[in-house]
Amino acid sequence: MIPKKVQQRFFIPAIIVGLALSALSTSTSGAALNGAALYEHYCAACHGNQGKGGVGVPLALPDFLAVANDDFLRKTIRLGRPGRVMPAFQQLSETEVDAIVAYIRGWAPAHTAIVETSPIKGKSERGEKLYASFCAACHGDRGEGSHGTGVTFSRPRDLPVLAPALNNPGFLAAASDVMIKTTLIRGRQGTPMLSFLKRGLNEQDIDDIVVYVRGFAQKPLPLPVKAGADEPPTIERMSPYGMQQTLDKLKNAIGGANLRLIRTESFDQAFAGKEKENKHHVVVDSCDFNFLNQALKIDPRVGLFLPCRFILSEHNGKVSISAVNPKRLSEIFNNSELNQLCDQMYKVYVDIIEETVF
């Protein structure tokens, strides 16, 4: 029989280690450490099953994989691109990240990776001028990248592949100066990103541009990344009116805001059928298709906000009106441009609701 003292000494820590291990393994759950499966689960929706691109940029490009070393890929996966759709995958284990990186590597022939990390020297003021004439048209005046994401839905767009944000803290933390320089020298065949040696810049010009791009790290981002994290999930107001009057006023307010009224029905009508429906919770759906059309260019996933829905609830004779708070929901998209649109949508919702209860 093991003495009690010893039992405690080894048994309790063993339980804790066991628990800790099982906690770790939940993040690996199901998917064995198989790079292809992990890639399909976490990345393929945006980057395509074969890395050909979609919402995200293509990854299976020989010119990209020739300049991106494993450290760049690992950091990009971990840090994401804050405010630029690409999520930060903090929940993955080291081995999972490595498995994904190895899988992505398989798309290009073996190469000698860039290991050089020492900073490049150059003149930022010169780089600024060159940047304005050679880069800003695609990557934005302040390095903010092109608008929207890669999915087009047969919509016309100026670039077949999105130009990434160069001012992004995730990009700047992952990319070394030498990687940026080599990207400018080689370009990326199959995308609008060209070789700037071939476009007539010399090595000194390129160094100056690299130094200027590096300097984006010191400048504030043009758009905030986390804008709505502290917002309440819904917008809600009490109505001084009864159900029918609130409903009538809401419909007027919706029309006044130029939204198209889609339908009015009890919340559970589709489930319960007309006879059994609960008339205390009424859904009013509407949509501004012009606004939606704009929003889809910024992020094809905005359907999650649709339709513009108002809920009227009657409880003990008191009527309240509520809606999703677009500012809060926008947080889960990691898209700063979308945050801006959601600010506008928030104002429209508040105006409609306040006019209803006025």
- Out of 28, 124, 313, 340, name the contact with another protein by CB under 8 A: 313
CB burial of 148-187 (b: ≥16 within 10 Å; e: otherwise) equals bbbbeeeeeeeeebbbbbbbbbbbbebbbbbbbbbbbebb
- Out of 28, 34, 36, 40, name the contact with another protein by CB under 8 A: 40
- Out of 178, 323, 342, 345, name the contact with another protein by CB under 8 A: 323
DSSP string of 144-202, one letter each residue: ---SS-S--TT---S-SSPPPPSS-HHHHHH--HHHHHHHHHH--TTSS---TTTTT--
- Cα distance between residue 330 and residue 343, in whole Å: 9
As given in the structure block, the two tokens for residue 171 are: 């990009």
Residue 207 interacting partner from another protein, ligand HEC, none (CB closer than 5 to 8 Å by kind): none
Question: Which region holds residue 64: left if phi is over 0, alpha if psi is between -120 and 50, else beta?
Answer: alpha
Q: Is 91 in the site for another protein (CB under 8 A)?
A: yes
Range 275-294, binding another protein (CB under 8 A): 278, 280-281, 283, 287, 289-290, 292-293
**What size, in residues, is the chain?**
358
- Out of 3, 4, 26, 110, name the contact with another protein by CB under 8 A: 26
- Cα distance between residue 132 and residue 137, in whole Å: 8
Strands (DSSP E) contained in the chain are: 234-239, 260-266, 281-287, 308-315, 318-324
Residue 209 interacting partner from ligand HEC, another protein, none (CB closer than 5 to 8 Å by kind): ligand HEC
Q: Which stretch binds ligand HEC (CB under 6 A): 8-16, 70-78, 215-223, 227-235?
A: 70-78
Q: Is 329 in the site for another protein (CB under 8 A)?
A: yes
- Cα distance between residue 241 and residue 243, in whole Å: 7
As given in the structure block, the two tokens for residue 206 are: 């390129």
Q: Is 45 in the site for ligand HEC (CB under 6 A)?
A: yes
**Smallest separation, CB 352 to ligand HEC (Å):** 30
Q: Is 300 in the site for another protein (CB under 8 A)?
A: yes
**Smallest separation, CB 45 to another protein (Å):** 4
Range 102-141, binding ligand HEC (CB under 6 A): 134-135, 137-139
- Cα distance between residue 258 and residue 240, in whole Å: 24
Residues at the site binding another protein, with contacts judged by CB under 8 A: 8-9, 12-13, 16-17, 19-20, 23-24, 26-27, 40, 44-46, 48-49, 54-55, 87, 90-91, 151, 153-156, 233-234, 236, 260, 262, 267-268, 270-272, 278, 280-281, 283, 287, 289-290, 292-293, 296, 300-301, 303-304, 306-307, 309, 311, 313, 315, 322-324, 328-329, 331-333
